[in-house]
Every structure is written in structure tokens, then in C-alpha cells.
A and B are shown apart, each in its own frame.
Chain A
């Protein structure tokens, strides 16, 4: 029988990571297979077609649309500048002339005898694609992008805000469950990516933005604080385009939740490294999670070989991801086959978990996620 278990988020000390970097539309690739790239390197470039501006010459000159070619001074493909006269009427003996002027700089794209409209396309908008991570180009996709390979520490968060950012990693919190006082962030944290403990509170985030911090990594965030920060209620978890001046990576969930011990220890180990983070999250079919990538010096040793287990077994370490035991860790002690009733009277597939203090509880299998064992 097929059952989907929450696969859990990846927290891997060392892995070979393949990242596809793609342009939003066809363009030029600036690197070749075998090239080493730094996070800030521009690897591809494209030009977004300029914005279209429409000018209804027919109504501007009060002439029928089909007469447009009798009055227009330009042709399709001509360049125009803002304020330039595009069309004019003769008027009476040179008097009462009407003129239609270009609203922008650009190129005439079309002239319509049906609607009387002239379409002017503005200059293309350049788009640059950076490598974002330190790595090597292993494949180029002509006109579209490249595939980079990096040997790195890789950590997925559960939820994030803001786009790509790069900075030196610094663990400010003493312990994974510490709640940091905003005053702890000072100007020495400028341009850094900081690990701040169990809560990214609103005052802490504000202070970080003021101090020019690039990114914060925390166990949890309160929804009320998130709303205050964004200025609106986040309805659907599609993020990454917010422009707050900082990127947030939340590793556990909403509320005050300690960063998982293993994640915290790993971040501590990698302190001082140039770290690439991305808060972009999409919780939909084709889920996108926020991520932390910390490059390692080229070495093929200790590569994490898919340590993630796919099925639950007796002894599997798990994390509970729903109330009333939200955030607690334990290991599986029983996996009964029969459906069992919950307090709600729903009959579901369950498992028994033992916590570190030896106590045991029975939970729906849907409410736990696997923890990697490497």
C-alpha cells in the first residue's frame, strides 16, 4: 500500500549540490562548462522586452481610425523620443492644428487602422543572473541558464521571507532555544547572516534591518509579527519577492520554537563561512523550501549519501509537527497496522513515540516527520 510520509527537511553537513540557474527568458550565457564561479559572479544575461505604451492617435487628433496613415509622421520600426510629434492634422489654413506626441522613448511597434492606436515599445530592460553559490559550471543550457555543482553544507528551512542573499555566517544565540534581545545586534553584524535562536521577533528583525544584516536564521516567528513586518496578512505561502532589506529563514515553524539541535550545531561548526541563503518558499504542488548553502573546500570525502530514510521503522528518529506535542523530538517505538481512533474519533494510522524522558505517546503518522540520521 502506498503511503506518503512527510519526508522532512534536508539538513546535510556535506553534499554535492546541483543547482539549476535559469533566466526568465532566453538570453546569453556568460560562462562555460568547467568554470569556477563565486556567488557574486554574473553568469547569464538577458533583455526583457521593454514595456509597451499605447497612444490612441485617432482620439488624440479626433480623426477616424482608418485615416491614421494620412496623419502619421512615423513608420513601424522608427525610433521616437518622449514628446516627439507622431502625428498631426493639417488644420484650417495652418491653424487649429492638433498633434499627438510620443509619451515615451522607444520604437514604434505597430500602427492600427482599426483602433487608431500606435504602440511604442520602450528600451529593453537588462536582467543579470548571478551564480548565488560558489561552485563549478557542469552544464550550460543554451540561452536558458546553467547547472552549477557545489560541494557544500545544505540546510532547508520550513518557511522564509525575502530572496537571495550572501554573507558571512555568525551564530549569535548561545543556545538553540535562546530568545535574543534586539540590542544584541550591533553594527558589527552588518552584511552578515546571523543565527538568532528560537524567535525572530519583530523588534529583532527591525534592529537587524537597521544594522544592515543580510539575513536571519531562527527557529520560529510569530504570525502576528510577520503581519506587522509585511504590512499585510500572508494568505498563501508563496514568498521570495518581498523587499524588506533582509532575508529570513525559519527552520521549524510559527511561534517560539528552538532550532533543532542538529541544525544549530551544524551552523555553529560552519561559522565564519560565506553563506548563501534564499527565503523563497512555495507550499504548493512542487514545493519550494528556503535554503542555506555553505560551500566547503573541494574534497569528495564525507559526502552525504542520501541519508534520508524513506519509510518509518521502529527506532526511526522523528519530529512532531502538530499540536499538542509540536516541535518535540523522539523515536518510533511501535507502528500498529490497524487504524486507531484519536480523541477526535477519527480513525487513522498511528505510531507510538518515546521522548527523551522515556514517556510515550500515540500520534497520527501524518503528524510526524522523519529526521535524517547521518
Chain B
């Protein structure tokens, strides 16, 4: 079985990695040169899980064929990957991730909605799943409504938790009875039993087995919340990934063959991206937020330190926020006005609604005009903002736990379970996905991320060059050295640093005085009023010493009105100073808002010169 596969114990000269997405299969070839591992080429082909082909390996072979042609190197012998590398032919290892067929769709169940059920949700999300629903004993739905829901949703897998070890067993037994009564059939394949993972009170194991062992493929792991004060999510996460391979993937067309090809278990794509995010945070000892915005879903990952100073990884997926299939839902959830506020020109609202729907029904089209690009990037800002809001509400400390607090904590945290996301403490923000990775100017990606995430204090910004984090995530499991080298060299594009004081921005009032010593010897000394965006040149691998003196009422991380001196790193965009205030608000008056948006566009050199800016503004 694939789970026991090990990578050959010898020097790895070449690596082939694929990511089978729901629409495209992407392949990359990595080779070891004198100075370490490098990305050589990338190829892609449509994914072939659906009819008429119904075999994922076809798309994989097509993508590898493209890599083979681009690299001018033989990798395939017919439909077989040549392994290990012999002379110039073949590769030493082959690995893959997958989100084809809609990814891993799960339901989770727990006794108390914001305690064990929430822990179970975090376990499932961290394993790379989409959580379709959370069933809890106290979720106010009647038992038959829960049964109906489980039956209708047809999840790929159920994670059942509940109760601390030694606690009562009756509530979790009741949940098991509900699952048994629903007798859900899996989404793929009518003939196999639905995997149910039990990760609750260990005293209830026998009771659970009695109720579920006959009807489901029941697996029992350690309790994911053994005591109130501690989560133990890893055993459940590993079991989810194992079951994903053994049951779900094995029933998806062609996966059995694909699993026999790979040198490491196939990982769900978001699980792999999460792994690489954790690696970045660990190696650099930093706090990180990462986002991957796709056509259908947006994943947000974060590593923040908890109250004890230990790094905590969280991942959420916003299943219906995305730039093509789900773009209409972005408009529905954000509201028309929130999208319109990012547009530096007037549009007819009815026309905008029709355009968004037309993108939804023809998801592969791309913006041809500048106006269409700006509208798409306005939608992206809202998709990212909403996905991050959802992330903040789930990336929280454990609820129901007594906390020792100091007076200052009491002001910051009004309840247990406050979000772990601390924007002032955030060191790096990493963006990935088409609308960010393929924005015509990197400046556009930088400002989309700043507008959507509203970073505070000093934050480094980066994007994934060609969306290869999934492959590097699975590579990190088998060869961390290669994964890190390729990540630094070829994957991560450093955009630069954003400096944003926190405070209410009253337009025109002083906000921040800065002194910057640029690497070319230029010295900048400037007082920037509130409500502005500035851009200073600071290139890739360059650093600059900055002295920051926030005005009264503004905080750079050292306290209100307190100065700070630090070193910042550059990137392809440079050093961005954002004095628009936090929380970030835009003017309500349309001509005023548009005038400011146009000024920021010009300062940041976001778009080419265009007569769009000359169009008259009418209030919307």
C-alpha cells in the first residue's frame, strides 16, 4: 500500500511532481545542479477525471508529455514514467497531489458546537478537506433534520468526535445513532462503505463500534480533544489523509494506477500547501498568512503563536469564494457596493451583474480590456477579504478554557476563543492562485493583498510565481532540502514590504514621518499625511534601514506615537507606505473616493495610462 512507500535512499537527481486540480493537471520538473535544486520546466493539460476519459492518469501523462517536450528530455516510456533516472532519461522520484473530483468533502460531528465540534472542524480543514456541514448535539436542529442533512449531502467521509476522555458517553452515542440512521452513501461509487473516523471520548469506543461498525468503514483514533485545555489533531488528520487515499481516491477513476506510480502518498492539494506554509514559518521562525485563490474556492493558511508562544497552524477553505465558478457568489456575499467601492470609474450596476454572471457560466474566459481587469481585481479583493474574515473566525484559541490574564490581555481579549490572527505580529503574507500569480503587473497583486488583508505594522509580501506550492508541499515531506531550495529560488516572488500604521486616518492630518536610507545611497526624509499610498524603490535582495515615527494616535507596533527603527527587505514592487489607516475605510462620497483611487493607481503605477480615468463620475 502506498502509505508505506518510502523514497529510495540515494541521492535524488531529478523530481517530477504533478498536481491534479479539478480543471488542470500541472506538472513540474526539478533537477539537481551544482548549486542545488532548480525548477526546470512546467507543463499542464486538462484533468481527465470526468467523462469521456474518466482516468486521471491520462491528464497526468499529457502534462508530463508537455514537460518532456519543453525540457527536451525523455521521461516517459509509453505510458510509464521512467524511474530511476538513467543517464538523461527519466527521473528519480515522482510525487503528486490532487484536488480533482471536487477534493475531499467531509462532514464533521461533535458534541458542543464551539468546543469538540470546532476542534473536529479544524482537524478536517487542516487535513485538506472541505467541511460541508458541522453537526453538533447543541446545534438546535432536530434529530430527523440532521439525518436528512447527512443523507442529502453524501460526504466522502465523516469525522465524529465528542467528549473529553473520561467524560459522559451518551451525547456522542446519540450522534453515532444519528449517523447510523442516516446510513449515508458515499458520493463516489455506490458499492463501498462510507469511512467514519471516530476521534472522541475513548470510553465510548465500544459503544460507537456497536452502532457504526456494521454499516460503515469505521476507524478509531485518539481523542482530538482529550482534555478541555488541549487539542490533539494530528492522529485524526493523518487518519483522514490515509482514508482519503484508501477509500475516496481509490474509487476515483484512475487513481489506483496513479497511486502505484508515486513514491510518496498522494496528498490533497490544500494539505500540501499547508505543509509548505508550516515549513516557511518554522524555518524562518516567523508568523505567516498564506492564501490560494482559485476558480471555485479560496484557501487561507496561517501560522500564529498562541498565548503560550507555541506556533499554531490553521487552514480554512471558503468553498464558494473564487474567481470563476464561484465569482457570482463573491458578489452575493460581499454585496454590490463593496465591489463597486474598488472601481476608479462608474459602471452600470445591472451591466456589472450580468458581466459577473457571464464569467460564472463561461469560467475559462479572461479579461481583455483594462476595465474588465479592474473589475475582476475588485472582485478578487472582496473574495480575499471574505475568505480572511472566515479564517479569522475559525483560527481561534480553544474555547471553554480558563485563561490566566494580565490587565492588558483583558483589554485585547474579551472572551476565550479569541482569534489567533494578530495582524501587527504578522511577518509575511504570501499570495497564490491565478488572479494573484498571473496579474499583469506584480504591483496589482501587492495592492490586492494589502487592500484585502489590511496588514498592520511591517509586513513582507510575496506571491507564488506559477502556483507550484502544492507540488513543493508534498516534496517537503520526502526531500525538505529540495523543496526549500526550489521554493526560495523559483517559487516565491518577493514583492516587497508594506508599512501601515494602525489608527484612524483623518485625511490630510499627519500620520507617519519616515527616514529611509536606500541601498543606492539616497536618503529619504518625509512626513506622510493620512490617507495616502507611497511607493519607494527597494529591489529584490535589497534591504533598507527605516526610522518610523508615527503621529499621535498611530501605532507601528511599539505603541501609539512610539518611534521604531528597523530593517526592511525589498522586492519586485518595493517599499509601500500605506497611511490609509486601520481599519481600512474608503470615502463614501463617490467623486472623492474615485479621485483617491485614481491617485493611488498612479502612485503605485498599477495600470497603464488609459482614458478610463477621464470618464465622468456619476454617483452610483
A residues lining the B interface (CB < 8 Å):
1-2, 4, 6, 25, 49, 51-54, 65, 109-110, 112, 114-117, 119, 144, 158-159, 222-224, 226, 233-237, 253-255, 281, 283-286, 321-324, 326, 342-346, 348, 363-364, 366-367, 369
Contacts and interface: CB of A to CB of B under 8 A. Distances in A.
B365 A236 contact: no
Given A235-B332, A324-B368, A222 B50 contact: no
Nearest to B174: A115
Of residues A54, A222, A226, A348, which shows the largest number of chain B Cβ atoms within 10 Å of its Cβ?
A54
Given A115-B170, A343-B368, A254 B358 contact: yes
Contacts of B320: 235-236
Chain A interface helix/strand/loop/mixed: loop
B553 interface: no
A286 B182 CA distance: 27
10 contacts: A2-B45, A52-B181, A223-B350, A224-B353, A233-B331, A254-B358, A283-B361, A284-B102, A322-B372, A363-B368
A369 B364 CA distance: 11
A284 B608 CA distance: 34
Contact of A285 (B50, B358, B373, B438): B50
Interface stretch (B116-124, B227-235, B322-330): B322-330
Given A233-B331, A235-B320, A345-B440, A119 B177 contact: yes
A261 to B, nearest CB: 20
Given A51-B147, A119-B181, A223-B356, A344 B365 contact: no
B32 interface: no
A237 B610 CA distance: 34
Given A2-B62, A366-B365, A236 B328 contact: yes
Nearest to A4: B46
Given A222-B350, A284-B325, A285-B49, A321 B362 contact: yes
A367 B328 contact: no
B144 interface: yes
Contacts of A284: 22, 102, 296, 325
Contact of B144 (A2, A53, A235, A237): A53
A59 B364 CA distance: 57
Contacts of B181: 52, 109-110, 119
Interface string B353-389: 1111111111111111110110000000000000000
A117 B358 contact: no
A237 B45 contact: no
A346 B372 CA distance: 12
Interface in B435-469: 438, 440-441
Contacts of B47: 285
Contact of B147 (A52, A114, A236): A52
A304 B311 CA distance: 62
Of residues A6, A110, A323, which shows the largest number of chain B Cβ atoms within 10 Å of its Cβ?
A323
Contacts of A6: 362, 364-365
B173 A51 contact: no
Nearest to B356: A223
Of residues B333, B358, B360, B369, which shows the largest number of chain A Cβ atoms within 10 Å of its Cβ?
B358
Contacts of A119: 177, 181
A343 B370 contact: yes
The 9 closest A-B pairs by CB, nearest first: A235-B329, A233-B332, A345-B440, A223-B353, A54-B143, A2-B45, A254-B354, A254-B357, A322-B365
Interface in B45-73: 45-47, 49-51, 62-63, 65-66, 69
A60 to B, nearest CB: 14
B169 interface: yes
A1 B362 contact: no
Given A222-B354, A344-B373, A345-B441, A114 B361 contact: no
A1 B43 CA distance: 9
B207 interface: yes
Contact of B329 (A52, A236, A286, A344): A236
B325 A237 contact: yes
Interface in B12-33: 22-24
A366 B366 contact: yes
